[in-house]
Structure 1
Amino acid sequence: MMKKQLIMEKALELFAKHGFEATSVQQITEHCGISKGAFYLSFKSKDELILALIDHFMMQITSDIDYIVRNTKDDKELLYQFYYATFDSFHKHSDFAKILIKEQTQTFNQEFMLKMHYYNRLIQNIILSLLERLYGDEVKQTKFDLIYCIKGFMSTYSELFLFYNAPLDLDLLSKSLVEKTNLLARHTTIPFVSQELIQMIKQPLNEEVTKEQILKIIEQRIAEMDEPIEKESLILLKQQLLDPTLPRAIVKGLLENISNHPHCKWISYLLRCYFEF
């Protein structure tokens, strides 16, 4: 296991018990069995470690639901698959999801808030594309309200199993939220959230990812990867970024090769956006 990954996993155990504020670097290093010097070789501070955990958690969820929305061909199944993937991802990362929901009620630095706004915008854009695909002009006036309704479903229903130990029946939950979303989409007539309001409250996406940044991430993953199929796919995708000569079908197949690997989900998401799949 890489040292950064070890620190993140062990720190998460402590954050789950004590929260961000009450957990010290000293406690983290003792729990990991490493020196403070080794910690600071991986992370400049505890805040940087927390931001890395947020990145990991939000990248997994964002890439999971983006993959579903882009690759579910049957419109009748799309909304169900979206909700299923969302809550399945929350469940897989429930330890950190609990911490994040609790800690967001406290005061965080601006970097934390900008990061959360960034991922919030990405998820809003995914939901918007889903709504436009499923309902088209039917929700032209209400689609931004619907985005907030769906985000509300995602947040409040996740709390049921994260904090109240309600049994998680993903199939029933997804079907129930599909019914509610369809009712709202087809019968809501009075919009509150307009496109003008969305533009007014938008935060700038300070973390727009450039081609050079994508190449850097790919190179890091290639260096870390042992699995031959994923590694070769990343090498070919890197070449495609530098010199786009492969047919789209081949590029799509290469993306499929890496999309389910836990360390490749984010780069898969970035490449899907870059190549417009």
Structure 2
Amino acid sequence: MTNERRVQFIETAMKLFAEKGYYSTSIQDIVDAWGISKGAFYHHFSSKEDLMLAIIQHYFEKMLASFTAIPQDSGSEKERFIQQIAAHFANMHEHKDFLQMMMTEQFPKISSDIHHYLLKQQTYIFSWYCDRLIEVYGTEIERYVFDVATMLNGMIRQYMFCVFLQANKLHAEELARFLVRRLDAIIASFSHEEAPILNKEMLKPLMELEEKEWRILQEKISAHIAHLQKKLLSLSLDKKVQHKIHAALDALEAELMNEESAPKEYVVQGILLYIEKQHIPAFADDLASLAKAVQQYMTTNRWERRKWKKKMN
């Protein structure tokens, strides 16, 4: 399935879930809307739960991309922060159907994978708020940054509900500027004698959960690579080709497991494409499984969280 067609499938299914509800929408409803057979559905998604997870991942990635899409030269850090919050509101306005679905479904009951994914995304967004607040207001707010981030998160979530109800009456940038003015007042109100309510010890379990899941993902990728290298030795290939593929898999693992810097997407994709272009039929399914695990690893913004992780230690 091409990426464009996958996106079409995901967006069509999301609208069905938003209109009818997850449990009232059958696989037959979905394949009828897609114009494919049930067999074809299971070729692309293992279950309705798997499809729902793909939908949530798709829209969360779009939402998170809106944070980072604002260029660095957009003025002061505070002005860029305002534009980022405005883009976040605009993104939710653009995807009202998704917001409606998120507000009406009980995701923990659908799938533990969905529940864990949403928890990780909430952790990421919270860490992003912490980082940006320090970049905007300076290191003097570090003592209170978890409290301020919690207040900001609460304000944004509640106003997002208002955007859903009164979309045409609320302007994204005006709302973002209004909220940042409130932040100015909140931060100015703190005194040095006042102790923060939240501290790193209270929030550490969230980061520990995320770190545990990332280690599991790393182990999964390493196992895929080891399996491919073992299979490689059993194939009747030219020794030079065999050596180059083995070296490519080593390079892929080194790039992904580097703890000191973010994996470069063009390097990772280039290695996977190189191996794919060797056209080894016995590799096809295993390589597809590896590529899927790598995609999951690359798209969850782990490396954006490094600064907050340092604050937690």
Relative to the length of structure 1, the TM-score reads 0.72
Q: Offset of 1:93 from its aligned partner? A: 2.0
Please name the residue that 1:161 is paired with: 163
Runs (5+) with no aligned partner, structure 2: 226-263, 272-294, 308-313
1:83 & 1:146 partners in 2: Cα distance?
Answer: 15
1:275 & 1:96 partners in 2: Cα distance?
Answer: 29
1:54 & 1:148 partners in 2: Cα distance?
Answer: 23
1:197 aligned partner, one-letter code: M
Q: Offset of 1:119 from its aligned partner? A: 0.9
Q: 1:48-85: CA deviations, max 9, x gaps?
A: 00000000111111122134486655223133112112
Equivalent residues, number = 234
Q: Offset of 1:16 from its aligned partner? A: 1.4
- Partner secondary structure for residue 149 of structure 2: helix
Q: 1:78-98: CA deviations, max 9, x gaps?
A: 331121121112122221122
Runs (5+) with no aligned partner, structure 1: 217-234, 243-263
1:90 aligned partner, one-letter code: M
Contact 1:90-1:97 within 8 A present in 2 as well: yes
Please name the residue that 1:194 is paired with: 199
1:204 aligned partner, one-letter code: L
Contact 2:49-2:111 within 8 A present in 1 as well: no
2:175 & 2:10 partners in 1: Cα distance?
Answer: 31
1:195 & 1:275 partners in 2: Cα distance?
Answer: 15
**Are the structure 2 counterparts of residues 66 and 128 from structure 1 closer, same or farther at C-alpha, using a change threshold of 3 Å?**
farther
**Are the structure 2 counterparts of residues 241 and 120 from structure 1 closer, same or farther at C-alpha, using a change threshold of 3 Å?**
farther
Please name the residue that 1:65 is paired with: 67
**Are the structure 2 counterparts of residues 81 and 164 from structure 1 closer, same or farther at C-alpha, using a change threshold of 3 Å?**
closer
Q: Offset of 1:131 from its aligned partner? A: 1.1
Report the aligned-residue RMSD. 3.5
Q: Offset of 1:32 from its aligned partner? A: 1.5
Please name the residue that 1:126 is paired with: 128
- Partner secondary structure for residue 107 of structure 1: helix
Q: 1:198-233: CA deviations, max 9, x gaps?
A: 1145461124776x97xx9xxxxxxxxxxxxxxxxx
**Alignment partner of 1:237 out of 250, 266, 273:** 266
Q: Offset of 1:270 from its aligned partner? A: 4.8
2:7 aligned partner, one-letter code: Q
2:81 & 2:304 partners in 1: Cα distance?
Answer: 20
Q: 1:119-173: CA deviations, max 9, x gaps?
A: 1111112111101112223212211011111111221101112134451312211
Identity %: 23
2:17 & 2:28 partners in 1: Cα distance?
Answer: 13
Please name the residue that 2:17 is paired with: 15
1:127 & 1:203 partners in 2: Cα distance?
Answer: 19
1:183 aligned to 2:169?
no
Contact 1:94-1:162 within 8 A present in 2 as well: yes
Q: Offset of 1:236 from its aligned partner? A: 8.8
- Higher mean C-alpha deviation, range 48-57 or range 157-166: 157-166
2:170 & 2:6 partners in 1: Cα distance?
Answer: 32
Relative to the length of structure 2, the TM-score reads 0.64
Contact 1:66-1:126 within 8 A present in 2 as well: no
Q: Offset of 1:274 from its aligned partner? A: 10
Q: Offset of 1:196 from its aligned partner? A: 1.2
Contact 2:66-2:84 within 8 A present in 1 as well: no
- Partner secondary structure for residue 21 of structure 1: coil
Please show how residues 79-90 of structure 1 align to structure 2 within 5 Å: 79-90=81-92
The structure whose Rg is larger is 2
- Higher mean C-alpha deviation, range 138-147 or range 48-57: 138-147
1:33 & 1:239 partners in 2: Cα distance?
Answer: 34
**Are the structure 2 counterparts of residues 203 and 156 from structure 1 closer, same or farther at C-alpha, using a change threshold of 3 Å?**
farther
2:122 aligned partner, one-letter code: N
